[in-house]
Structure 1
Amino acid sequence: MYTQKLILGVVPVKRSFLSMEEAVRQKNKFMSVIRRVKPELVEIVDVDDIVEQGILYEADKVPAVVDKLKKAGIDALFLPFCDFGEEQAAAAVAAAFRVPVLVWGARDERPNTFEARGRDTQCGMFAATKVMRRYGVTYSYIFNCETESPRFASGYENFLRTAAVVKAVKGLRIAKIGDRPVPFMSVMANEADLLSRFGMVCVPISPSAVVGRMKTILEENSMVFQSYCENISQRMDCAQTKEEDLRKAAAVKMAVQLLMEENNCSVGAFECWSAFPALADICPCLVLGEMADEGLPLACETDVNGAVTMAILRACSLYEDVEFLADLTIRHPENDNAELLWHCGPFPYSLKKEESKAALVEGQESFELKAGQLTVCRFDELGGEYYLFAGEASTTDGPETTGTYVWMETDNWQRWEEKLMFGPYIHHLGVCYGSYLPVLREAARYLGLHFDNAHEQGIHSL
């Protein structure tokens, strides 16, 4: 399963003349919390060996701190305030990087008295963030709350997910397997602009190269290949697919995976129905669903922006869940706020509803997806401006249909439809299970995207 680790620099800050003992107490509390959050996916780089007690307050220590974090190759930076902090030191560290930055400090327990000085944490963060703005630093912030608060834990985790999205997008390598189908002008993408704006590279892979690998895999007929074909047959009813076609589809999947890995691509845009039926005499829909379950999702119909969308959603889940690209097709016949998320057969098998019987019909999967909370989004472009549409919904019951599908219920479908019709979007939406709207909103700020919230009214229809 494809994954990416996140390297997080953590630089606690304090005011020079305030209590070190109290600052250390605060540091120990929040470090205990963050070290428990996704430790298998997040590598924390501290500055314990650079500054006293691992807490920065001396401006002359900033270069050493920055040097350590740069050598570590941090993907994100957390500046927790143990008290009022030192704005010049905190802002200087943040300004040395172009990565997502998180600012937070624990809520003070009491005000100052004649007998004792408090921490004035919130006060110091107001000052420091002004300086960060002057430096041009983009930063995130968790509302001033107690360390033990669920709000801190959830805010910190949302920041990790945001940083993962930013890392995933910048430098993304997209396997472009074939050109778009002739009728599909809607999936056009500006590859040169994606490169110059985000560092994304589209790597051309010819469908004929895939077919060549497919033929080699079929000829070699290895034990791994035979075992994979048997695995598909055990998971799905393949009575309506010829054995030869099943073997071809399995071989195409293995060929695509090999070529993507050789080209260091983690997502792809796939010329499916317009190329492979002629080249290999099969419909390759199975390949897309299987590749998603490998953590290497493919967008059908060579939808490059759709591939970027799935890369964004994959990072939102910190590579723990699976995403898919769905067609918006028809409204629910009875529920005015529901819509059918469908495609001819490319959804991940791992998302299948338990009681739904999976079938492979002439190379196309057929099953219903499981129930749950959904996040949907679409990365797209028009006139050099980039947009991210996003919303949250839930699955709902609806009539059975062909292919792979799930019915989605929104809070207000008319508003969603108006957004999608008037925005620079198409009929393809990326979908994953879970609630990631705050993450997508925050990631859009760092990436310079217009965030288009499905839950806010845009242009009205007539």
Structure 2
Amino acid sequence: MMTDKIKLGFAPTRRNIFSADAAIEFADLTRNKLNAMDVDFVDIKDINEDGLLYDDAGMKKIAAKFKKAGIDGLFLANENFGTEYECARLAKQFDVPVLLWGPKDEAPATDGSRLRDTQCGLFAIGKVLRRFKVPFTYLVNADIGDSEFEQGVLDFIKVCNVVKTFKETRILQVGPRPFDFWSTMVNEGELLERFNISLSPIPLTELVEKIHELQSNNDSEIAETEQKLRSIADVEISDKDLNMVSALKVALSRKMKEYGCNAGAIQCWTALQDEIGILPYASESLLQDEGTPVTCETDIHGVISELLVEAATMGQERAVFADVNCRHPENPNGELLQHLGVFPYSTARNKPKLPKSHFVFDYPGSVGFQAKDGTYTLCRFDGDNGNYSLLLGNAKTCDGPYEQGTYLWLQFVNLNRFETKLVYGPYIHHIAAVRSDVVPILYEACKYLDISPDFYDPIEDDVKAYLRGDIKSIVK
């Protein structure tokens, strides 16, 4: 079940020279299919008697209706030849992903005539969209009942969700980056100017004061959080430390709501331990499960990566955020992804543990478990020198030694390629991963985000083949 919601503007189009009746019939068939798929869309049947886009007067009314509804994506359904310039004029008014498709033409009648000429019109619409500099996603000329149609629409909805999430992101930045982490340096002004991603920086003291306020007031959410942690994990830390872990989680959640943020990044060490005596990871893992990720070492680009890869699953899967740590002792293509916590509790394959300390930091507040087996999509948004890209690829879990903290061992097709990509950059040792194959979704979303897709394996041809319906999966 998809937890995130996307609203499409549905604009079926026709051209006067071909059969209006046939275009109306196929537009209604498309509507029925979208309804059967439970797609949330804004229709245009009230715009004119045809319920179709074909002239300026109708285009202006459609644009006004879609703007009022706040659509997240535009679906141009070419039901006969289509009026290409009206499609482009409509699409130009929206900064949202655009889906272009038309139903396959019937065989010619016995007298050699044809009613729709849909495929030819798709070529024309595509050309004019390019003239208007409107990026778009093309769904191949398949029948409404074909599996390619349904998969293409569902994938496009996921693309819309990635784009919407990216453009609406506001990140709570708690404290500056730790001095030693020059790798997590970001350009705040550039993120805002280019991508509309804004930061809400607050000092650590503001968060600490909120924690103490919540504890002094015996806020009921702290006790509820303590109870939840005891129900989902083996708690080895003291009651006092558990109370602080819970208070930190609640304080971070309240601060994100106060500043209108959908994610956060925190200076996780060492000033925080001096103030409240715990590591933040057990608290962050709870926030990850709630869909409001918070990353460590003030890694702004890292939390953006998490938001993107989760949005590509429509909120069905939660992302793990990990350090890429070390090679497998025996498997030449195996790699350890690990952290002191941060993985959502829901991603655990064994019961999570809240240990008294971790070998890296002798403080409570870390989490321990191995993540679930499966095929993961790895994703890292990053940039430097004004250039931004999205590192993409897949890897499958494999057996490996026990590790403290939250961890998983992944087997790559070629670990050297992955390792070299991280070293040459613009990436670092932090990466987001989700147990789902959403590489094609993220790849397609890049065209709407002014980001270059960057594969660590040579899979671009397979991704393109998937997007045009030639293969069902890029994972071998």
TM-score bucket of the superposed structures, by smaller chain: over 0.9
1:28-427 superposed matches below 5 A: 28-37=28-37, 39=38, 43-111=40-108, 114-239=111-236, 241-353=237-349, 355-356=350-351, 358-361=353-356, 362-427=364-429
Tell me the CA shift for residue 418 of structure 1: 2.0
Task: Look up the SS of the partner of 1:35 in the other structure.
Answer: helix
1:339-383 C-alpha deviation (Å, 9 max, x unpaired): 111101221101110x45534332110001111221110000110
Partners of 1:254 and 1:158 in 2: how far apart? 35
Contact 2:143 2:149 in 1 (8 A): yes
Instruction: Please say if residues 266 and 297 of structure 2, whose CA atoms lie closer than 8 Å, have aligned partners that are also in contact.
Output: yes
Aligned to 1:451: 453
| Counterpart residue number, 1:27 | 27
SS in 2 for 1:364: coil
Deviates more, 1:254-263 or 1:157-166: 157-166
Tell which deviates more after alignment, 136-145 or 51-60: 51-60
Structure 1 Cα separation of the partners of residues 192 and 27 of structure 2: 40
Give the Cα–Cα distance (whole angstroms) in 1 for the partners of residues 253 and 216 of structure 2.
18
| SS of residue paired to 2:367 | strand
Note the aligned Cα RMSD (angstroms).
1.9
Determine the C-alpha separation between the residues in 1 that align with 2:40 and 2:285: 31
Paired residue for 1:442, among 436, 444, 452? 444
Contact 1:110 1:118 in 2 (8 A): no
SS in structure 1 of the partner of residue 380 of structure 2: strand
Could you give the per-residue CA deviations for residues 112-151 of structure 1, whole angstroms, max 9, x where no partner exists?
Answer: 6525414221111101111111111111111222212222
Supply the AA of the counterpart residue of 2:306.
M
Q: Residues 206, 135 of structure 1: CA spacing in aligned structure 2 closer, same or farther, 3 A cutoff?
A: same
Shift of 1:325: 1.3
Mapped to 2, the partners of 1:80 and 1:457 lie a distance apart of 30
Q: Deviations over 1:73-111 (max 9, x none)?
A: 222100011121111221221122222111011222324
TM-score (norm 1): 0.93
CA-to-partner distance for each residue in 1:201-228, whole Å, 9 max, x for gaps?
Answer: 1001222111112112222224432232
Contact 1:415 1:457 in 2 (8 A): no
Which residue type is aligned with residue 324 of structure 1?
V
What one-letter code is carried by the residue in structure 1 that aligns with 2:18? L
The Cα shift of 1:313 comes to 1.6
The answer on whether the counterparts of 1:345 and 1:366 sit within 8 Å (CA) in structure 2 is: yes
Partner Cα distance (1:237, 1:92) in 2? 59
The runs of 5 or more residues in structure 2 that have no matched partner are 357-363, 461-476
**417-426 or 224-233: bigger deviation:** 224-233
Distance, in Å, in 1 between the alignment partners of 2:115 and 2:83 is 16
Q: Cα gap change, 1:332/1:51 in structure 2, threshold over 3 Å: closer, same or farther?
A: farther
Moved over 4 A (4+): none
Change (3 A) 1:96 1:330: same
Whole-angstrom distance in 2 between the partners of 1:289 and 1:146: 44
Q: 1:246 to 1:356 in 2, by over 3 A?
A: closer
Compared with structure 1, are the counterparts of its residues 415 and 36 closer, same or farther at alpha carbon in structure 2 (3 Å cutoff)? farther
TM-score, normalised by the number of residues in structure 2: 0.91
Count, aligned residues = 452
After TM superposition, give the deviation of residue 456 of structure 1 in Å: 1.9
